[in-house]
């Protein structure tokens, strides 16, 4: 059963790669586990309303049941949205795929990345997540902030290595 669920809700990143041009995945970033806390709390609240439904009078039982089902549905949707939100670093670009019912894709070539800021709030420093903010040469861009990135310092170094290896920046040769 879980294998089917994983397959059905996999964002299928490989189909977005430029394989003919030699593009390879360097890192695939899922959201940090902390993003699942709110859906878990909603599920617990839904369970509480379900128990209330079991002990309610017949005339009012529909209300806690309806609230429980709505909370469960919203929690499942939020968890799926977080699970399907992926940030991918390749040797040519970075891109993000997200969306449950309709899928969206934002792409940024490595050459367009001017600066990456890593923001780590206090909770993020304690649990190991941070947020990326990309600065690019474009006025409008489809991907500016990537939130709840696990191990943000290591991921930042990975992007910096890809930029350096591509020859876009780094030590300049003097002739």
What is the reported pLDDT for 65? 94
What is the reported pLDDT for 169? 64
Question: Cα separation of 132 and 113, whole Å?
Answer: 12
What is the reported pLDDT for 1? 60
CB 86 within 8 A of CB 29: yes
| CATH no., domain 10-31+87-165 | 2.30.29.30
Question: Cα separation of 93 and 55, whole Å?
Answer: 56
Residues contacting residue 110 through CB under 8 Å, at least 6 positions apart = 91, 92, 93, 94, 162, 163, 166, 168
CB 108 within 8 A of CB 134: yes
pTM (global) more than 0.75 = yes
- The residues spanned by each domain of the chain are 10-31+87-165, 40-78
CB 68 within 8 A of CB 49: yes
What is the reported pLDDT for 155? 93
- Mean pLDDT per 10-residue interval, the chain, length 175 residues: 73 89 94 97 97 89 94 96 94 92 90 89 94 77 84 93 79 46
CB 42 within 8 A of CB 74: yes
Question: Cα separation of 159 and 87, whole Å?
Answer: 12
What is the reported pLDDT for 131? 95
């Amino acid at each position: 059963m879980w294998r089917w669920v994983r397959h059905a809700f996999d964002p299928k990143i490989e189909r977005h790669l430029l394989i003919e041009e030699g593009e390879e995945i360097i890192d695939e970033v899922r959201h940090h586990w902390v993003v699942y806390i709110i859906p878990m709390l909603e599920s617990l609240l839904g369970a509480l309303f379900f128990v209330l439904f079991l002990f309610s009078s017949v005339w009012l039982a529909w209300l806690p049941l309806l609230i429980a089902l709505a909370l469960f549905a919203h929690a499942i949707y939020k968890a799926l949205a977080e699970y399907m939100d992926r940030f991918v670093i390749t040797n040519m670009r970075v891109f993000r795929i997200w969306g449950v019912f309709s899928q969206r894709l934002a792409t940024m070539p490595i050459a367009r990345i001017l600066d990456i800021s890593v923001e780590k709030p206090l909770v993020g420093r304690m649990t190991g997540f941070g947020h990326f903010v990309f600065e690019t040469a474009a006025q409008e861009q489809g991907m500016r902030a990537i939130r709840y990135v696990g191990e943000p310092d290591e991921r930042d170094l990975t992007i910096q290595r890809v930029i350096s290896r591509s020859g876009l920046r780094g030590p300049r040769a003097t002739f």
